């Protein structure tokens, strides 16, 4: 059977693309394919046993609703956070589209007021301290769904799409594209031990961060131009809530950017989770990465946030992906496939952490997926120097941040290195083939993924 649109990857970009197309033209035959399972079948053994058992397809990042389904789902309401598709579409257009997505969230029952819209005295003082210490505070209003709230929202959204006739095929991994005369004609997927072919003249590739490798391979194979972009490498920091109280209560998340003194590298905070939990994400080839999330109802006593160093590479180096993956593998080699954790006191003192030393701290880790050790054995010096400098600067804005009780989970890496060449309509050089969301290289958050998916769908609607 031939479909009007195939959405490859049922995450945020894919779901919002499919919804937009169906809403505007209910007669379309739309198919969404994903490597993972339907949302209701996505069960992580860790939720039952408390331990990661290294499933071949991780239920946290794969499956309908994508990585967003189990994320903290802070929805940033501004083009400056979540990606940089505004560089090809324009800032106003992106903000207009973000507002449209917020409208859709509301239709599916999300009613909470965003935080960070207006500054009070405490917030102004935090901003003043940022200015004093050379930190840029990116002040964008944020809606917070929480991991549980986001699951409820996606469940309603998916039920609606199923009711209206969108087809889903799960546990199918993209193998290849089918091209003819420079245009897309369909694709092949692996389903258990079978290869299946699906046909369509319009395919949206939305494979998320986990599928970025696959997108790069396809670009190489079919001569689709792409660039090596930046890669973000750093740590997930965890600190008692009490230290972050002012920021948490006033901003929920304060996004900070800082350029290190010696190396002039860009450092940023990312995805802060007050009263949240550390997450260990398993990718292919033994890559375990740190992340964090927070529930709306279940709370810990710790805040976690990423401290990331953005690295771009110049000629002749062309493999930022492989570079970052090698770092992650090195950490995984030291821990036997877990996160590497060290207290800030031990890192600064040049000694490894041990479980015994961690038990003397005021903080209790919110995950068991770690091995205490020495981050300096796996993290390149330049990145580690930047992290330490950023922690010290953060301490000036949030006194107590650079304490011995700060836990650092290594590595947290955001792979954004394949930036596919796309037009403002999200179409690649292959006619009918669109790229959206994290795997396009233009997205790194829920807001931009949804915007890109919708833009791709609208272009297809105009052409059908």
Ligand X SMILES: Cc1cc2nc3c(=O)[nH]c(=O)nc-3n(C[C@H](O)[C@H](O)[C@H](O)COP(=O)(O)OP(=O)(O)OC[C@H]3O[C@@H](n4cnc5c(N)ncnc54)[C@H](O)[C@@H]3O)c2cc1C
Binding site for ligand X (CB under 6 A): 9-14, 34-36, 61-63, 66-68, 71-74, 76, 82, 173-174, 206-211, 214, 271, 279, 281, 291, 293, 437-439, 443-447, 449
Q: Give min distance, CB of 278 to ligand X, in A.
A: 10
Token pair listed for 140: 């964008």
d(CA 177, CA 198): 10
Q: How far is CA 411 from CA 109, 144, 287, 338, 394, in A?
A: 36, 25, 10, 10, 20
Q: Give min distance, CB of 281 to ligand X, in A.
A: 6
d(CA 240, CA 405): 8
Q: Between 6 and 407, name the residue whose CB sits nearer to ligand X.
A: 6
Q: Give min distance, CB of 214 to ligand X, in A.
A: 5
The rounded Cα 13 to chain-centroid distance in angstroms is 12
Residues contacting residue 424 through CB under 8 Å, at least 6 positions apart: 88, 89, 455
Q: Give min distance, CB of 392 to ligand X, in A.
A: 26
- 373 closest CA partner among 336, 401, 400: 336
Classify each residue of 129-141 as buried b or exposed e, where b means 16 or more C-beta atoms within 10 Å of its C-beta: ebeeeebebbbbb
Q: Which residue is nearest to ligand X (CB)?
A: 11
Task: Report the DSSP beta bridge partners of residue 186.
Answer: 178, 199
Which one-letter DSSP state was computed for residue 427?
B
Please, where are the H alpha helices in 31-112?
Answer: 45-49, 86-89, 91-107
Q: Give min distance, CB of 405 to ligand X, in A.
A: 23
Q: Between 354 and 425, name the residue whose CB sits nearer to ligand X.
A: 425
d(CA 299, CA 322): 36
Q: Give min distance, CB of 356 to ligand X, in A.
A: 29
- 307 closest CA partner among 359, 253, 256: 256
Q: Between 60 and 327, name the residue whose CB sits nearer to ligand X.
A: 60
Q: Between 308 and 402, name the residue whose CB sits nearer to ligand X.
A: 308
Q: Give min distance, CB of 374 to ligand X, in A.
A: 25
């Amino acid at each position: 059977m031939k479909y009007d649109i195939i959405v490859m990857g049922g995450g945020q970009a894919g779901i919002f693309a499919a919804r937009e197309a169906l809403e505007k033209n209910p007669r379309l035959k739309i198919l969404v394919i994903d490597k993972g399972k339907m949302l209701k079948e996505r069960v992580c053994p860790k939720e039952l046993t408390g331990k990661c058992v290294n499933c071949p397809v991780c239920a946290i990042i794969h499956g309908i609703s994508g990585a967003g389904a189990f994320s903290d789902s802070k929805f940033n309401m501004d083009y400056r956070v979540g990606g940089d598709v505004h560089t090809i579409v324009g800032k106003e257009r992106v903000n207009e589209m973000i507002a449209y997505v917020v409208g859709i969230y509301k239709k599916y029952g999300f009613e909470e007021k965003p935080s960070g819209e207006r500054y009070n005295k405490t917030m102004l003082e935090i901003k003043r301290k940022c200015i004093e210490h050379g930190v840029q505070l990116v002040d964008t209003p944020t809606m917070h769904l929480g991991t549980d709230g986001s699951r409820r929202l996606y469940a309603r959204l998916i039920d609606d799409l199923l009711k209206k006739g969108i087809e889903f095929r799960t546990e199918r991994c993209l193998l290849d594209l089918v091209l003819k005369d420079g245009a897309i004609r369909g694709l092949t997927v692996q389903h258990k031990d079978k290869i299946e072919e699906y046909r369509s003249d319009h395919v949206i590739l939305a494979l998320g961060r986990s599928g970025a490798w696959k997108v790069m391979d396809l670009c190489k194979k079919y001569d689709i131009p792409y660039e090596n972009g930046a890669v973000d490498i750093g740590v997930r920091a965890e600190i008692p809530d009490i230290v972050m109280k002012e920021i948490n209560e006033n901003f929920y998340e304060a996004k900070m950017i800082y350029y290190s003194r010696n190396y002039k590298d860009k450092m940023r905070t990312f995805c802060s989770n007050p009263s949240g939990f550390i997450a260990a994400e398993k990718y292919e080839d033994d890559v375990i990465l740190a992340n964090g999330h927070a529930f709306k109802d279940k709370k810990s006593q710790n805040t976690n946030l990423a401290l990331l160093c953005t690295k771009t590479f110049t000629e002749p180096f062309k493999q930022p992906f492989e570079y970052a993956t090698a770092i992650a593998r090195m950490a995984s080699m030291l821990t036997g496939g877990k996160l590497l954790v060290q207290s800030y006191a031990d890192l600064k003192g040049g000694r490894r952490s041990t479980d015994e030393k961690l038990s003397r701290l005021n903080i209790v880790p919110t995950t068991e997926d770690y091995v205490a050790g020495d981050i300096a054995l796996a993290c390149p010096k330049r990145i580690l120097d930047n992290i330490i400098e950023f922690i010290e600067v953060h301490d000036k804005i949030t006194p107590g941040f650079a304490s011995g009780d700060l836990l650092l989970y290594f590595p947290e890496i955001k792979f954004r290195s394949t930036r596919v060449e796309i037009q403002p309509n999200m179409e690649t050089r292959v006619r009918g083939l669109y790229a959206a969301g994290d795997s396009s290289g233009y997205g790194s958050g829920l807001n931009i993924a949804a915007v890109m998916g919708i833009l791709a769908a609208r272009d297809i609607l105009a052409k059908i």
